[in-house]
């Protein structure tokens, strides 16, 4: 019986360990989400397409999963927010009067085909 308990304990530990992100993975996920959020901020402010912040967090989980991450637990939403606003500033400099609206709408529709248009 002792011989069976040890392997089971190791397996369960490795399963739980895989549901946490390393420091570098957290940074990678935060950057990926910030890039998406900066485009959504642009769509909201410059294209008149409102963004539901709670829905964004749910979509963030799907986006991270589609990129190979099993979780987004432990990321800093505050860092994502700061990076997103910084990214929005760069987008605003690049396209100050909404020139990227159609491109970003198409990007979102292409990446999240299951979303309904509102």
34 has pLDDT over 90 = yes
Tokens 């294209």 belong to residue: 47
pLDDT value at residue 118: 55
Mean pLDDT of the chain: 81
Mean pLDDT of 67-80: 92
Closest CA to 19 of 64, 60, 54, 57: 64
What is the model's pTM?
0.74
- Listed by start position, the domains of the chain span 22-111
DSSP character string of 62-93: HHHHHTT-S--TT--HHHHHHHHHHHHHHHHH
In terms of C-beta density within 10 A (0-12 exposed, 13-18 middle, 19 or more buried), how is residue 81 classed? middle
74 has pLDDT over 60 = yes
DSSP character string of 3-40: HHHHHHHHHHHHHHHTTS--HHHHHHHHHHHHHHHHHH
Neighbours of 102 (CB within 10 A): 10
Tokens 């190979």 belong to residue: 68
Mean pLDDT of 47-52: 88
More confident residue, 83 or 55: 83
């Amino acid at each position: 019986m002792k011989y069976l308990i040890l392997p089971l304990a190791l397996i369960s530990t490795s399963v739980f360990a895989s549901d946490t992100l390393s420091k570098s993975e957290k940074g990678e996920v935060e950057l990926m989400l910030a890039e998406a959020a900066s485009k959504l901020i642009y769509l909201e402010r410059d294209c008149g397409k409102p963004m539901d912040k709670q829905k964004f967090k749910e979509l963030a989980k799907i986006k991270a999963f589609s990129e190979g991450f099993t979780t987004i637990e432990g990321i800093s939403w505050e860092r994502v927010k700061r990076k997103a606003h910084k990214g929005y500033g760069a987008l605003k400099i690049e396209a100050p009067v909404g020139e990227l609206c159609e491109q970003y709408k198409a990007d979102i529709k292409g990446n999240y085909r299951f979303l309904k248009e509102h």
